[in-house]
Amino acid sequence: MFYNIAIVIVRIAVMFVFRLRFVGRENVPAHGGVIVAFNHRSNWDPIMAGLSCRRQLCFMAKEELFKNPVFGGLIKSLGAFPVSRGKSDISSIKAALRILSDGKAMLMFPEGHRIKNNKKVKAKPGVAMIAQRARVPVVPVCISGEYKWMRKITVTYGKPMTFEEYYGKKSDQDQIQLAADKVLEEIRKLNETHEEAVND
């Protein structure tokens, strides 16, 4: 209930800052565990993810944000759970798998952190590794446009990707990295499609 109320309030506020356009939201399965993978350029991105997706998104947040009990409680009620950055955090991986096993949707950024100036980087393997272990699809999503006053921000959802060929098999680092790179490549293709439409 709190999440839905918060989304409505934030949506109204953001409408006075940007012009929003959401494309392909029906590509997110209405039920069952799913990873919704976004590109990451700005602190605005998690907000746009929450506003655009028709399902509540659970997401990882650095553990330092939970040290303040008030703020930590707030973001926890919005679907956040803590992760230790810079090291392998088994507890956060287990939490992610539990969330997906419960049939919920989870937000992830394959790039791992904010990337500016459209710099191309390799995807972090986590998105594919968790998708393989949880046996859930990944929906690639691209946020396009500049976060400037009354500029159009377009959030484009691609078709779900599955990695069924890896289900039930021992994780191979090279294969997992390849799968993660494919997710990021699909996100980039969505951005290229958006730019072509704008320039036509």
Phi, psi of 154 (to 5 degrees): -110, 130
Q: What is the pLDDT of residues 90-117, one digit of tens each?
A: 878 888 999 999 999 999 999 988 877 6
Residue 58, Cβ density class (10 Å: 0-12 exposed, 13-18 middle, ≥19 buried): buried
DSSP 161: B
Lowest mean pLDDT segment, chosen from 55-59, 114-118, 154-158, 186-190? 114-118
CA 177 to each of CA 72, 76, 123, 128: distance values in angstroms, whole numbers, following the listed order: 32, 30, 7, 7
Residue 177 near residue 125, CB atoms below 8 Å: yes
Q: What is the pLDDT of residues 144-184, one digit of tens each?
A: 999 999 999 999 999 999 988 878 777 788 899 999 999 99
Sheet of strand 152-157: strand arrangement: 19-23, 152-157, 138-144, 34-38, 105-108, 57-62, 80-83
> What pTM, to 2 d.p., does this model score?
0.88
Q: What does the block give as tokens for 60?
A: 């990882």
Tokens 């952190």, located at residue: 113
